[in-house]
Structures are given as C-alpha cells and as structure tokens.
Amino acid sequence: MNQFRPPIVAVMGHIDHGKTTLLDRIRHARVAQKESGGITQHISSYQTTVDTPNGPREITFIDTPGHAAFCAMRTRGAGITDLVVLVISAVDGVMAQTKECISQIKKSNLPVIVAMTKIDLDTKNPEMVKGQLVEMDLTPEEYGGQTTVIPISSKTGEGIDTLLENILLNADIMELKNEPDAPLQAMIIESKLDKNRGPLASIIIQKGTLRLGDQIFAENIGGKVKALINSDGKPISEAGPSTPVEILGFETVPVIGALVTNHPSEPLLNFPQCQNPVDPNSPHLNVVLKADVEGTLEALKNSLSDDVCIISSGVGPVNDNDIIAAKTGHAQLFAFNTPVSKIIKTLADNENVSIFESKIIYEIIENIQSQVLKMLDPTIEDTILGEGKIIAEFKIDKVRIAGVKVSKGEISKGDIVHLMRDGKIIKNTRVGSIRQGKEIVDKIKTGNECGMTFLPYVDFKVDDDIIAYKNSK
C-alpha cells in the first residue's frame, strides 16, 4: 500500500482563460469542443497517471467553471482539494473571476501554482500578469515571492511537464496521508437524475474505500452502491482515497456538497423554494427552474436577483408537475440542458405556460434578467438589441473608456442602455462612441470587444453589465 494518496487539484480561473483546454492537453481529451458555447457548464473530475523517474503516479483534477454564476461550485471545489492550479491568460491577465478565485484560495489557505496560459500567442504579456500577481499578494518566485508561475501552452505542450512535476513536488511536501481503511468520507461534487439509470452522483473519496454493495448515505438520503464508474467511464469494483467516481444507487438525487458516509447524517445544505424572499406588494418575477444536474441548478439560483421568486425547482426532464407549478404560481419555466418532450410542450401551450430552453447557462440567466427588466421598466420592448459586460477600464485624454465585450446581439452608437450592477439598474444612458482597435465604428456585434463611452457620463465599474434597448414611447 502506498503511504501517500494522490493529490486532489482544483483548476480555477476566469472564463475563457483555458482551464478545460489545459486539462484536455493533460488528459488527451477533447472536452472543450463538446461544451455548449465552449464554456464549462459543469464541475468535472478525473484522475490521470504521470510517468516519473520513480514510477507512475496519479493526480486527481477538478475542473471548475469560470463563469460568474458558478461561485458556489468553485468554493466547493476549493474545499475538497489539496492544491489549486490558478489559470491566468498571458493575453488577458487577472480578471473578475480570477480575483474571486484568489480570494477563495487565500480563505482556504491552499498552496497555489499559477499556470500562465496562451503563452504561444503573439499578444502575450507575461510581465503584465506577474505585476498583477504582485498586486494580488501572489508575488512570483522570480520577484522574490513564493508563488510558482509556469508559462503554459495547451496548443504546443510547452510547460505541461513542468506543471505536473510541480504538482507532485507540492504533494510530496504535504505528505498526504493515505487512509483506505478509515471510515468512508467522500464529497458529492455533482448529481443528476438519469432518465434510464436513475439518480447518479459524482464524488471524490477523501478517506476510506467504497465498494459495490456498500450501504451509503448522503445526509439523509440513503442507498446501496449498484455501480461504480471511474473517470474513464469504466466500471470498477472499489475506489479508494483521492479517487473520483460516479455512483449509481441513491434512492433520490442527493444534494451537491453533501458528505457521503456509511451512516446517515444531518443535512449540511438546504435550498429553500424561494431563495430570495420578495415583497408581495412589489413587482417580482415568478419562475420555475429545471436543470440537468444539481450544480447548474445551484448556479442558476445563486445568479437571481431579489426581484425573482423561485416557485419550484429540480433536476431532470420537465414534467407535468412543473407545468402545474408554473400555472398555479403564475410563473415562467426555464429549462437548462434538460429535455422537454412534445407532450409536455403541448401541455404547456394548453395551460398558457411559457418555457425557455437553452444548453448555455448564461442564456438562461440573461433571459431571466431581461424579463425582470421588462417587468420593472415597461419602456423596454420584447427584443433587447444587445447585451455586454464591462471587462476593463482605461483613459484616453482624461476620458474614462469602458472596455466592453458584447455577449448577445449588437450595440450601436446612440443606443439607450441600462447600466446594470448586481442585477439592478444603476443608471440609464446612451452609447457615445465605439472604437474597435484603432477604428471608430458605428456598432459592435456578439463576441467582439471594443472601447465605449457613455453620454451622459455614468460612473461605471468593471463587471457591470450593459443592456441596449429601444424606447417604445
């Protein structure tokens, strides 16, 4: 028996900075291409084997989504791990979710290795990134600090071996105790209802050994292990410490973040039906939420403003009970990456229930946000012209310029816009000018970035949202 268990490593970072692509390179998979919108929508884990001079060694990786909606998921990933690989683009540098990740790392007191990705691109600026790390109190070793920064290219493979070597070196220093004979202790990192197999849970074992036929409990939900599937999709008979595995056998879908043991325990988490209690006398949007897995359902809930009341929520396909809940609660139904059958659609039409479907989580969030805006401000037409996020701020001739990335539609010079912060309207203004690169343009479309001014001036901040719309009056 090995004296030490494999390290559990959480890979964290801002959206689109290359976390999943890096793990694809390590695993030789193509996960990033399969994800809707090219963005990780779920938490995932797998174990890989690394060849070393002393023989093969294993590392367990957890890939956490970088979108703002998944704050709780990233926090949970940090809670179970031994070490964090913080992915920062050498092109874009430290951004909003990067800062959030750093805050979580510091709170958890976890060792961290910075993987500086996209080092193969001509637009890279590694010294900018290192300077930003100094400002965030993660001073690189070459600057006299203690933070290891490794330039990475997932495209060419540069730095991958160095990263793996540093992970294993940190694991050796930590001397992670292997306890296969201890009482079972594992954490559920994802769960869902499979239409063919029933409740499924993805877990990572911390202590003990899980075997086929074992009685298990996730808080007050019991079950018996009917199948164990490893991260390669192969059935196994048992799994020990640091092993990620999928379990078939729970009676119902367990709550993510729950501790898995061989005996029942008190609930650790509780999701109320109405997460943000609302004033019944004030305008609010009633919703029914359905998602493919508990993780994305949690992310949806955590992304809603105080103007939204959840009438009902759950995982799995949309069913007739969801339609009834939406009708009786005068609610709209939002379904993320989960089936809506023709029969259910017909029932929804007959009951005059609106269903919005998407396989991309931020489309669900943006649609709910737009519904709230229309409810609060009747001047907004049904079709929003464009939506974007302020991702940077800079000055030209003492004029503050907002660096904006358009996420939906298009935004044009002269458009009326809402400046949004934390789901609430801060101020209404107009787009003054738009500059893309060195060119002054009249409009900017989905997926593009630009410099933008506002007339009249608004005191914007990085991570503010802007929504362009037509005035119906």
Q: How many domains does the chain have?
A: 4
What is the domain-level CATH number for residue 408? Answer: 2.40.30.10
Angle 294-302/361-376 helices, nearest 10 degrees? 30
pLDDT at site 70: 39
Q: Is residue 300 included in any domain, yes or no? A: yes
Range of the domain at 444: 386-469
Q: Identify whether residues 390 and 422 lie together within a single domain.
A: yes
Does 170 reside within a domain?
A: yes
∠169-173-178 over CA atoms, to 5°? 100
Residue 126 contacts residue 422 (beta carbons within 8 Å)? no
For residue 3, what is the DSSP state? S
- Series of mean pLDDT values for 10-residue runs along the chain (473 residues): 83 76 71 38 70 88 59 54 90 85 81 93 93 93 93 90 93 90 88 86 91 90 92 90 92 83 60 45 79 84 78 87 83 91 86 87 77 63 80 81 93 87 78 88 93 84 88 51
Q: Are 423 and 340 in the same domain?
A: no
Q: What is the CATH number of the domain that holds 366?
A: 3.40.50.10050
The answer to whether residues 263 and 301 touch, using CB atoms and an 8 Å cutoff, is: no
Last residue of a domain, one of 153, 174, 195: 174
Domain endpoint, select from 348, 376, 404 = 376
Q: What is the dihedral of CA 22, 25, 27, 28, to 10 degrees?
A: 150
163: helix, coil or strand? helix
> Do residue 250 and residue 394 come from a single domain?
no
Q: Are residues 28 and 91 in the same domain?
A: yes
pTM for the whole thing? 0.58
Res 98: pLDDT: 85
pLDDT of residue 270: 40
Give the per-residue pLDDT at 23.
Answer: 77
In a domain, 273, yes or no: no
For residues 216 and 224, is the Cβ–Cβ distance under 8 A? yes
Q: Domain end: 261, 277, 302, which one? A: 261
In a domain, residue 364? The reply is yes
Residues 54 and 128 in one domain: yes
CB 251 within 8 A of CB 222: yes
> Does some domain include residue 277?
no
The answer to whether position 266 is within a domain reads: no
Check whether residue 243 and residue 137 sit in a common domain: no
Buried b (16+ CB within 10 A) or exposed e, 242-268: bbbbbbbbbeebbbbbbbbbeeeeeee
Judge contact between 30 and 81, C-beta under 8 A. no
Residue 179 forms part of a structural domain: no
pLDDT value of residue 29? 46
| Residue 319 φ then ψ, to 5° | -125, 180
Q: Quick count: other Cβ atoms within 10 Å of Cβ 169?
A: 12
- On whether residue 381 sits in a domain, the answer given is no
The DSSP secondary-structure symbol of 35 reads S
> Are 169 and 71 contained in the same domain?
yes
Q: What pLDDT sits at residue 307?
A: 76
Q: Indicate whether 58 and 95 sit together in one domain.
A: yes
CA 105/CA 118 separation, integer angstroms: 23
User: How much is the pLDDT for 249?
Assistant: 93
pLDDT at 113: 95
Verify that 153 and 12 share a domain, yes or no.
yes
CATH number at residue 108: 3.40.50.300
Q: Are residues 141 and 12 in the same domain?
A: yes
213 and 289, same domain (yes or no): no
Q: Kindly state whether residues 104 and 77 are assigned to the same domain.
A: yes
